[in-house]
Chain A
């Protein structure tokens, strides 16, 4: 069974919503659509307060090479362009729209019919993804069209499709592979064309046997695509870990996957690519898992971007009395929300509700140097050492010990028997080292 070699943990899977078919969440009364929903430069607003917009209309335009378009997910009237609290907890500019009906932009194909013929050329595909605001839906929200533009001197050999979903609780990718498999496969074929590669692998962990069987079946119709079942291990959905697991190649420290000829895209992104290229549909909705042990009805919802999180929780049976924490994303890497008014964005893969008891951190005691953090670190780092260096503000030392290789998977903190908040210190260290490097650049 294939997997990545170094480190990793096995958290309880808790895939409560794995059997729940994707349901469509009704369009809310108002949405707040953050202007910046991708990695890179903030986008520039192209609409004005008071204007009427249709579903799928452009709201903000990508302003730089790494930046992406944002479209309206509803039809209605723009009531405000203001700052709202987003998933990061910071207040950021957003377009607030009062919903009136659901009138879509012309040219968007909303029929259920599946379009298999790929008519666009490679350049047109890249252009289309840029136009439709497609970004990586796995969480990092990197603009997809940029991923297809291979830097000069490099060559993509393989496309890897990430269907791992190694985060506990989350099932949106799983459901999507089951229910929208064929469209997703067309999306994969489009990405292969966009990258000019002949081979694509879809990595799926063995805890989703139905998805593996379904896609393996579909693969017979799609040349060059192959499913790779993987042993269940967190964080296999990490880009570098997935590449290692599937191809055996190791992305060098500080480099991008294309260095070893690989490009990784999430299954949700593949579906969004299909819809953009074949149906002319911008990225205005996504599948979100709403789950938690205390929730009445854990489920998977197709949600318009900009919908407040509390609408999703209401649909899942309402917020339980003893809720202590609500997480945007999975429990290993997700961010705890400070407010439930926060809008769903392109990067929201799940909403996990935790009880007060589950929300408490364990008490912190002395490090017993058991080295479990070292043995679970998938990047081969020494979290205990890096945390000590950060704690003692020895950031230059931390840089030498490769603190920037940390991808914040949280395996160290998860495992630490002394309950030490290792990742908190590592984040601090990473930020400080980032500042040091930037200052070096300006000197």
Chain B
């Protein structure tokens, strides 16, 4: 039986499985035992950029990489190998991990010239990573895999079961092969089973399972240790494509991998299973990722002039001035330095090291700032949560971030524990609490030890609210934060002793970054409308407040409760959503200040600076001013996702690049895979907003998902709404209903109660004011988001309008 060479799959079979028959070929190479082995590979042939060698796991074969083979050629040459004894490669010679690694190295040296990328899945992971130690490689792409069993994890039960009766489950019966094939969609099953039809052909499946080392005595234990070591030392870009629904390699294995390779990018597919390469559109993701990682990343400040936020805090360690003033108390710069040193000691002693994700479930307070600085002192990465997104979203994001530590209050830690936000994470709080680290330990003053931070090190992860799409975890490097500080302070050049106040919870973390004191008004942080005039004026009395960042809901609340009173604030920034001219005017009267409406988002803040109404664009929309120096704005044609950049004719999606543009989405959860586009080797962020540039100024026309896709071409909702809102003097929302490409426009006038048809006189005035043909004019309450209480959820509104008019 030794050396039996199965036939390659027939052209008919390959076609039926969606593979190009010309890809299938055989390769002879010197085996690890000195005798030649015969491999079957799927090889797309010549690629312009380089070669991607794909290594499957057990018990799959090259078919697993179908999407990559299809999507990436001809830009890349993709070779999916069948490992010895598996797929359509030679049978009958048992292999251990070290031998498989050796053979893969031989294969790559023999077959590949030029840039090389290794892709691997399942137990192909250790083989590829092991080989990476002996090869010059440019990038690594990994699916659900492991290089070590995390200490807090048992052997996956499915593997344990397979091992205990390996011959029966894996060779004599097709149980293991079938079980694996059933983890993905039906259409893939025949192809996955095909090379493993008889017991003879399944021998290597059994041998592979038996070779998985679980204890030190196992044959390949040391070899796997070497692989883990290699992964820790890899400096090339790494992409982890992770199926979130995998009973074998679950999220704790993901966390183990990201701990070993903190610079890895993670694209997590929430609903994909173990065979993520077949369950998810990995080809498109890899294509985008390679585009970005093959080109230079937008580089922030040069290293020499770089100064991290932490360095700024440490410099002021004897400053008695306040950095935070809130209803819970005041925090001085010196206290921030001292208390964070103590907390950092506790974390460091517990093992917190560079790159560790630390989830901060702390409402804005002195402790939030102390915790963030303590994490930075250890080289860790604070993950700043946004509770306003709702508990389910919060849980999903925290879980996906797989933090090593969770720092919270008694209440938030209990919730996190009860709902299993972060299974296996260490819990910490300021104060004694059983089973948690006490970050406020009174012994000693804390060592002054800090980890040196570089501009490319990850600095923070901030959750978006999900007000305008799925909530995401946005990652920044220290260099990007430093660039953000420069851009922001340039907008209002603060003097020493100046303070700011805000209705945005996350902005309070900017205090140490901007080196300005933050005054937190006494209001419910999750309900911006509870920040009224009383609260604002009380806050300004507590420090020399020169700047206020307000959400539109807060601005409205301040106006409603001012009753003719005034409070002097030299600069008011209204951000978060477009606001009407009357609000701008009234806030101007109340504060006597300069009122600005900068544009930006969690991924890139700030983008522009300007005052609304300064100029009017020819296509309508909200004028948000000119892009800040260093920030580049491009307008991309709509509906071309995945096709690169095409300049829009009139208006289109707003793309942004800036030194302070975020680094990427962390463990992207259900995120549109095309959020990045590279133009002239510069990385641009697709904002999902639409607008246009005119005379060097940017005008925003709303969200791209709110664009009405009519038969005569796309219509921006904002451009339809504005003239009607002005004519009727009330809030309106335009939504498109019906299938894309033939949507019709319906207008909803804000009012109390459920949706209904607008009365004839209002309807006729609205029709007259709108520049386009309207199918229906309705009246009713407009749904708004939770964080800003002002962004109209046009998607929800659209589906209600659709249901109402359909008669459902």
Q: Is B truly associated with A?
A: no
Interface residues, chain B, with chain A CB atoms under 8 Å away:
none
Interface residues, chain A, with chain B CB atoms under 8 Å away:
none
